[in-house]
Structure 1
Amino acid sequence: MLKRVLIANRGEIAVRIARACRDASIESVGLHAAGEAPYHLTLCDDTVELSAGPRTYLDAGELVRLARETGCDAVHPGYGYLAEDAEFARLVTEAGMTFVGPSPEAIALAGDKVRARSAATACGVPVVAASEGYIEDEDEIVRFGAAHGWPLLLKAANGGGGRGQRLVADAEHAAAALGECREEAVLAFGSDAVFCEQYLDTTRHVEVQVLADTHGGIAILGDRDCSVQRRNQKLLEEAPAPGLADAVRDGLHMSSRTLLRSIGYTGAGTVEFLVTCDRYYFMEINARIQVEHPVTEEVFGVDIVREQLRIAAGEPLSVAEGEPRGHALEVRINAEDVEHGFLPSLGQLDAFSVPHAPGVRFDAGYRATDTVTGGYDSLLGKLIVWGPDRAACLQRTVAALDSVQIAGVDTTVRLARAIVAHPDFASAPVTTRWLTEHLERGDLDLTPRTPAVAAVRPPTSVGLVDTHTVTIDGRAVRVPFAPGSTAAVDVEEARVALAGANPWLAGISADDEADSVSRRVVTSPTTGSVTTVHAKVGALVEEGDQLVVLEAMKMLVPVPSPITGRITEVHASVGDTVNHGEPLLVVDAHAPEHIEPHESVQ
């Protein structure tokens, strides 16, 4: 029996774990950075401040020390961070504590996509064609493309959550894609190992939830469809996966059972597949609890986190396999600006609530007045809706999304509503390309369903021009104003400003307006840290060239050149923390070839 668990995570999953611990009469210890008071602490029996700040969530040795210091006999990693780090699991067990998850050996195998593919092949599970090992240079990518066709996928071998992936259109883009993929893989997973995989178009992303105890018991808890994605990251998930042929569904379940049993897996796990027509192919094993686990809980009436605690304590499974009851849909509500490329949206949550209704559950990681910062993932919470059938579930979801009240940051709520209400989604399963294609065409209805709300915050200086932050329909908009002018902002005037907003060019001073076509001050589209600076004073750049790369909310945000010209000023260096609207550099279409470095260049 576990007595005291360190929750090595934050956000909604930390809330979820704390509640499960409370239900099981297990004490929980929550973590937080200095100056932060996150929601999950209100549910924990004890709390610990991270002396080194947010980066401590990735310090395995320090987390183990904190667990021992606070008298914990177990550690639950949640998802993300070190949840699939075999070394962290090993350190926990070597310290005499229980790791609430698979064994270090199972994590190491599942976490390496190349090794996991080999294990699947040995079990007779179908796999997509891929490189035999890790990619060393772009020549290997070119050879793979010639053999298996273009486009192809580059994937981080230790990746997950859609990060560390690049679609390579042809041989010409191989080198650049390899560099970008490796950079993101190191940032997200600490390893630059990548491999090639054949790209299959018009596929669905379907996964199988599994629980396995230490007594040989395995329970297959159905399947989920996770095909609605942007940038290879999931936005909506539903259970059971709609429209699957019985033979495909049976094959997915059987393959998952066979594969996890063959590697001696214990705990909660997910086996992910690509499904096309009547065929399916293994993608990866997620050796942890998934973000989308609540939809499975709703249709099977099981608490998966509670089962994780039981398995870790050496107890047998308390659930059995069966048929799902009804249908459930999960909507991830992220702090992102959909209309400007899903940029992270930061700020204080002036309002944050979801009214209660039959069949509606909300797993939140924040409360009203909490501040969304760039140091963490963009997930604010998850709306989970159950219905007796899929049609009723979708109808309830639309109504629930219309009732969501969030102000202070941009969110994905309106996009989610547009997806769920779309006839394509309602009538048939969609593919992983569906959302991208509709976003490119701009034919999703993002019209607000609630009256406009305008709230003016104190003016903020962005270095070149003063702005007010105005909230319209729950979306934060920066409106420039002349120093000394009134702070009052008309809603309709702000709408005009919003319609013409360009996130890459916000912050052109009044003196530059007349010459804005030839000279552009490029400002930061979000608050984050600078990971790469490609620009140098005097360099000639083409419109669209990547100038700077930022990291915010575990996302890489490239900043392109708005015009063709020469770099005349650079104000950003690798490692800098920059605020939204802060000047990064200046591009001038008519600058001379030889330019003296600006005095503020770092």
Structure 2
Amino acid sequence: MISTLLVANRGEIACRVFRTCRERGIRTVAVHSDADENALHTRVADASVRLPGAAPADTYLRGDLIVKAALAAGADAVHPGYGFLSENAGFARAVQDAGLVWIGPPPDAIEAMASKTRAKRLMGIRPRTEVTEITEADLPVLVKAAAGGGGRGMRVVRRLADLDAELAAARAEAAAAFGDGEVFVEPYVENGRHVEVQILADTHGTVWTLGTRDCSLQRRHQKVIEEAPAPSLADGLERELHALAVRAARAVDYVGAGTVEFLVADGKANFLEMNTRLQVEHPVTEAVFGLDLVAEQIRVAEGHALEAGPPHARGHAIEARLYAEDPSRDWSPQTGRLHRFSVPEPVRLDTGYTDGDTIGVHYDPMLAKVVAHAPTRAEALRKLASALERAAIHGPVTNRALLVRSLRHPEFLAARMDTGFYDRHLPELTEPSPDPHAPLAAALAQAVGRSRFGGWRNLPSQPQTRRYLMGGEEHEARYHHTRQGLEADGVRVVHAAPHLVVLELDGAQRRFEVSRYGDQVYVNTTALTALPRFPDPATQHAPGSLLAPMPGTVVRVADGLTAGTPVKAGDPLLWLEAMKMQHKITAPATGTLSELCVIPGQQVDPGALLAVVTET
């Protein structure tokens, strides 16, 4: 029986595993980098051990340090979570060699399936590792990292001239994220569905298939919305998917929880890979089958046998990944203080953050997973969209609005989605739309600003004005102090206090919660930024200036790029690495590079000047 368990991971998954451990009476140990010293997963664990440094290569990818930490803390088991070392056979062996229980499949099974190229050969598929074989007739192709997942080390190539550069970028990203730069190339299917099968196997020869999941809504080949069961699958196709998943598990004598992934196109199942770990999206399967997969992982590791068959599936579950990122700006990750974070019940929230935490630059920008379960798909969609819409998220920009619009999009509602969903619909999903509170929000913000002191005048005066940035657009609030109180743009302020405002419009009164953090104002879920009356000269930049969209490290500058180099609009100039992803910075116009302000290896803050292009 396991008594103390260390999670070799961080953030949301560490907190999620600790929750099951507490329910089962198991003591918990966290490991943390210097950047995570005060992270939520370190605060909720019974004990924590420092891994010196901040970069994953120095901390969460150091298996030797993690094994040493487990022994020092008195742990008798290690759970790898997902990502980092979760699919590293060498780490699994090191854990077992130290006399610790490994909460995962046998190292040999990990080794057989951790490399996508080996996994494909095991399933009778020949991967293309010789990129010199690629011709124009093969395009488009997908460059893919052999190790790891999460969309890192993946690039779509549509022009043969881009192949070498994309291969280099994919290798660099894969090496940084997984410590393995091997890549391969496969045909890119434009409009397939990403469908997967959850498996669970014990040491007594029983293998469960726990239904299907659809994970087709993806950005940068990383999943955004997942659901179980995968809707609109033909019975014959679903049986085939289950049979192939069992075949993959038995081929490597699998034990524990795992996932077999497929690309479904034209009614056919194409094997992609097997993930020898718990998936990010496992909560939707838990909701449908009434299981705790982490508890089952622990039971299997302790030698318990599964029942002859899994429980019956009930209802439908949908999960949305809430990211600190701006979808309208090429999904750029966001950092900063998360002042308030609250999602209303009755949905499940798996997160590694709470009020007051800081979202840093070193790790994945996912804030949380929000999961809704209901008797039908339509009810689950409505419940999840409503919960996200009403969530209080005060801090960096998130993809919350994109998630709500995606869940309500006619194509998704009709279950006609595929992996090209965001390629087709991103502009319409990110364009500014009328906010239901927009006519009131500026009045609200001004009401709170004026609530603590009087401003009534005996004589009529011109309206006073304040400017706010809301939804990427500038709004001007005009307000009067009258005998009846404060009025703004025809809206009467009935009550104004620092955190509550009551407004009257056309005879109807509405109540609003208001929060202020410096020049940031949140009115219910509407965010406003108070603008200064006069622009700060220090923030002005020359036309054509390229500013860092996020904090990060300059990892590469385009070959031969110096001041005076002619450039074309869209040409890549340099690459920033932030949150384990590389982000390409391109020329905003055709012209001449008049200034290059950074060098490889340089750390930059958001808004830092990277380069200046003078347009011709």
TM-score normalized with structure 1 length: 0.83
* 1:328 Cα deviation from its structure 2 partner: 0.3
Aligned counterparts of 1:219 and 1:544: Cα–Cα separation in 2: 49
Aligned counterparts of 2:202 and 2:521: Cα–Cα separation in 1: 60
- Does 2:602 match 1:576? yes
Aligned counterparts of 1:87 and 1:382: Cα–Cα separation in 2: 30
- Does 2:582 match 1:556? yes
Distance 1:29 1:471, change over 3 A: farther
TM-score normalized with structure 2 length: 0.82
- Does 2:164 match 1:140? no
User: Which amino acid letter does the alignment assign opposite residue 550 of structure 2?
Assistant: T
TM alignment of 1:298-337, pairs within 5 A: 298-317=287-306, 320-337=309-326
- Counterpart for residue 273 of structure 1: 262
Distance 1:446 1:214, change over 3 A: farther
- Counterpart for residue 163 of structure 2: 174
Q: Which runs of 5+ in 2 are unaligned?
A: 447-466, 475-517
Local SS of the residue matching 2:134: helix
Distance 1:28 1:470, change over 3 A: farther
TM alignment of 1:434-513, pairs within 5 A: 434-440=421-427, 448=435, 452=441, 472=470, 513=542
- Counterpart for residue 42 of structure 2: 41
Q: Which runs of 5+ in 1 are unaligned?
A: 122-126, 457-468, 478-486, 499-505, 591-602
Local SS of the residue matching 1:291: coil
- Counterpart for residue 74 of structure 2: 71
Distance 1:236 1:319, change over 3 A: farther
Aligned counterparts of 1:400 and 1:111: Cα–Cα separation in 2: 36
Local SS of the residue matching 1:116: helix
Aligned counterparts of 1:103 and 1:436: Cα–Cα separation in 2: 39
Local SS of the residue matching 2:60: helix
- Counterpart for residue 52 of structure 1: 53
From 88, 98, 106, the equivalent of 2:109 is: 106
Contact 2:402–2:430 (Cα < 8 Å) also in 1 = no
Let me know the Cα RMSD of the aligned residues.
2.9
Distance 1:497 1:221, change over 3 A: same
Distance 1:497 1:111, change over 3 A: farther
Contact 2:519–2:529 (Cα < 8 Å) also in 1 = no
- Counterpart for residue 279 of structure 2: 290
- Does 2:3 match 1:15? no
Distance 1:220 1:420, change over 3 A: same
User: Which amino acid letter does the alignment assign opposite residue 587 of structure 2?
Assistant: S
Aligned counterparts of 2:539 and 2:76: Cα–Cα separation in 1: 61
* 1:491 Cα deviation from its structure 2 partner: 10
Give the structure with the larger strand fraction: 2
* 1:366 Cα deviation from its structure 2 partner: 0.3
- The one-character-per-residue Cα deviations of 1:207-256 (angstroms, maximum 9, x if unpaired) are 00001111112111111000111111110000001000000001101110
* 1:565 Cα deviation from its structure 2 partner: 3.4
- Counterpart for residue 387 of structure 1: 374
From 320, 330, 342, the equivalent of 1:341 is: 330
* 1:64 Cα deviation from its structure 2 partner: 1.1
Aligned counterparts of 2:359 and 2:473: Cα–Cα separation in 1: 13
User: Which amino acid letter does the alignment assign opposite residue 206 of structure 1?
Assistant: V
Aligned counterparts of 1:367 and 1:550: Cα–Cα separation in 2: 28
Contact 1:547–1:559 (Cα < 8 Å) also in 2 = yes
Aligned counterparts of 1:544 and 1:266: Cα–Cα separation in 2: 48
Contact 2:468–2:529 (Cα < 8 Å) also in 1 = no
- Counterpart for residue 375 of structure 1: 362
Paired-residue identity, %:
41
Aligned counterparts of 1:369 and 1:455: Cα–Cα separation in 2: 22
Contact 1:507–1:581 (Cα < 8 Å) also in 2 = no
From 197, 203, 207, the equivalent of 1:214 is: 203
Aligned counterparts of 1:351 and 1:450: Cα–Cα separation in 2: 20
Aligned counterparts of 2:46 and 2:53: Cα–Cα separation in 1: 22
- Does 2:548 match 1:524? yes
* 1:391 Cα deviation from its structure 2 partner: 1.3
User: Which amino acid letter does the alignment assign opposite residue 584 of structure 1?
Assistant: L
- Counterpart for residue 89 of structure 1: 92
* 1:507 Cα deviation from its structure 2 partner: 11
Aligned counterparts of 1:556 and 1:388: Cα–Cα separation in 2: 41
User: Which amino acid letter does the alignment assign opposite residue 383 of structure 2?
Assistant: R
* 1:4 Cα deviation from its structure 2 partner: 1.2
Local SS of the residue matching 1:428: coil
User: Which amino acid letter does the alignment assign opposite residue 551 of structure 1?
Assistant: E
Aligned counterparts of 1:298 and 1:427: Cα–Cα separation in 2: 22
Distance 1:488 1:17, change over 3 A: closer
Distance 1:43 1:570, change over 3 A: same
Distance 1:511 1:49, change over 3 A: closer
Aligned counterparts of 2:521 and 2:580: Cα–Cα separation in 1: 35
- Counterpart for residue 596 of structure 1: none
- The one-character-per-residue Cα deviations of 1:2-55 (angstroms, maximum 9, x if unpaired) are 121111111111111101111221111012233631112333111122223353
- Does 2:557 match 1:533? yes
* 1:161 Cα deviation from its structure 2 partner: 1.4
User: Which amino acid letter does the alignment assign opposite residue 522 of structure 1?
Assistant: L
Aligned counterparts of 2:83 and 2:186: Cα–Cα separation in 1: 23
- The one-character-per-residue Cα deviations of 1:117-146 (angstroms, maximum 9, x if unpaired) are 11112xxxxx5x742xx23x5x3222xx53
Local SS of the residue matching 1:374: coil
Distance 1:294 1:392, change over 3 A: same
Contact 2:348–2:370 (Cα < 8 Å) also in 1 = yes
* 1:179 Cα deviation from its structure 2 partner: 2.0
- Counterpart for residue 149 of structure 2: 160
Comparing 169-178 and 327-336, the one that deviates more: 169-178
Aligned counterparts of 1:12 and 1:489: Cα–Cα separation in 2: 27
Aligned counterparts of 1:319 and 1:372: Cα–Cα separation in 2: 44
Distance 1:51 1:176, change over 3 A: closer
From 212, 226, 238, the equivalent of 2:227 is: 238
Local SS of the residue matching 1:57: coil
